[in-house]
Amino acid sequence: MHRQYRVIRRWAIAAFILAIIAMELIVASAISALAQEQKEELVPCALTFDDGPGNYTEQLLDTLKDKQVVATFFVVGEQVLRWPQTVRRIAAEGHEADNHSFDHPNLKQLSYRRQKAEIDKTDRALRALGIVPKYFRPPYGSYNASTVRAAAANKLVLVLWTDDALDWKYHSVISLESHLETHLKGKIGGIYLFHDLHPWTVTAMPDILDDLTRHGCRFVTLADYMGKRNVQDKSREPAGTANKNPE
């Protein structure tokens, strides 16, 4: 009798434990589904930084690492040759490094052959570091049919931007943050253009990231953003819209 009671008691305890485990799994699954739903409600934001790497890029990378934010760097080839370790760090920390010409000319003023050389030299500099670029952004946002053809010859997608931070125009942290507060509030989502050569941009970036996060940004690399957009026939038409940028 006592033995039978002990067996029943053990089975009851086991059933109770299994019920608790099952309940915990159900709760965990519900929490995970809710987190995924909330994540999907956020707006994809692709941060891009042009013209580097330079003196302030390492500081920017520290900020991005601290905030757990990914970004895309459109690098200039001659800067890649000067700062190879920084470019390696960009790739190692989950960011993307893409092509922004070799020495930042206005490509519309160059022949197809010279445009192709600008792209080729930067492409080789990146590949020498084990990085295969996917995108090309023409300096100043200035391009023509030859630019698109030269980029496509290197299997690069020509990409511009949808939101220009104008950090070349606002030369202090206060003026830049004030501009962004009014300019970007109603335009959350898209491809954002910044420059990592400007100290005021890098200094302001922690606050900028916090502000964009509060307004619903989910930071993604450009490749992730483009993948979500399902861009078709990428080699023929540049992605993003842009006004000509003096940088």
Render pLDDT for 8-24 as a digit per residue (tens, 0 to 9).
Answer: 666 667 666 766 676 66
Q: In b/e form, how buried is each residue of 6-34, taking b as 16+ CB within 10 angstroms?
A: eeeeeeeeeeeeeeeeeeeeeeeeeeeee
**Token pair for 201:** 């941009």
Would residue 6 count as lying in a domain?
yes
More confident residue, 18 or 56: 56
Would residue 115 count as lying in a domain?
yes
66 and 160 fall within a common domain = yes
For residues 138 and 244, give the distance between their C-alpha atoms in angstroms, rounded to a whole number.
Answer: 10
66 and 79 fall within a common domain = yes
What pLDDT score was predicted for residue 69?
A: 98
20 and 52 fall within a common domain = no
Confidence of residue 29 (pLDDT cuts 50, 70, 90): very low
Question: Which of the residues 95, 100, 195, 198 is marked catalytic?
Answer: 195
Q: Residue 210: which of 181, 238, 245 has the closest Cα? A: 181
Q: Residue 45: which of 156, 170, 139, 180 has the closest Cα? A: 180
CB 122 within 8 A of CB 162: no
Q: Residue 141: which of 247, 226, 49 has the closest Cα? A: 247
What pLDDT score was predicted for residue 26?
A: 56
Cα–chain-centroid distance for residue 225?
Answer: 8
Domain that holds residue 164: 43-229
The CA-CA-CA angle for residues 87, 89, 90, to 5°, reads: 65
Q: What is the average pLDDT value for the chain, to the nearest integer?
A: 86
- The pLDDT of residue 28 is above 80: no
Give the residue-averaged pLDDT of 211-228.
Answer: 94
CB 71 within 8 A of CB 93: no
**Token pair for 123:** 């492409």
Question: Is 50 an annotated catalytic residue?
Answer: yes
What pLDDT score was predicted for residue 2?
A: 57
82 and 174 fall within a common domain = yes
Q: Residue 68: which of 206, 188, 239 has the closest Cα? A: 206
Question: Is 100 an annotated catalytic residue?
Answer: no
49 and 25 fall within a common domain = no
CB 243 within 8 A of CB 161: no
31 and 53 fall within a common domain = no
128 and 12 fall within a common domain = no
Would residue 216 count as lying in a domain?
yes
Give the amino acid at 12: A
Model pLDDT for residues 170-215, shown as the tens digit of each residue: 988 999 988 888 776 667 899 999 999 999 999 999 999 999 999 9
Would residue 235 count as lying in a domain?
no
15 and 73 fall within a common domain = no
More confident residue, 163 or 187: 163
Q: Residue 121: which of 108, 106, 136, 109 has the closest Cα? A: 136
Would residue 202 count as lying in a domain?
yes
49 and 24 fall within a common domain = no
3 and 73 fall within a common domain = no
Domain count, the chain: 2
Would residue 98 count as lying in a domain?
yes
Would residue 150 count as lying in a domain?
yes
Give the residue-averaged pLDDT of 69-98.
Answer: 98
Ranges 129-138, 221-230, 231-240: which has the least confidence: 231-240
Residue-level length of the chain = 247
56 and 76 fall within a common domain = yes
102 and 199 fall within a common domain = yes
Ranges 23-27, 77-81, 158-162: which has the least confidence: 23-27
CB 90 within 8 A of CB 97: yes
What pLDDT score was predicted for residue 17?
A: 72
Would residue 111 count as lying in a domain?
yes
Ranges 18-32, 79-93, 207-221: which has the least confidence: 18-32
For residues 132 and 177, give the distance between their C-alpha atoms in angstroms, rounded to a whole number.
Answer: 34
More confident residue, 70 or 182: 70
The CATH number of the domain where 102 resides is what? 3.20.20.370
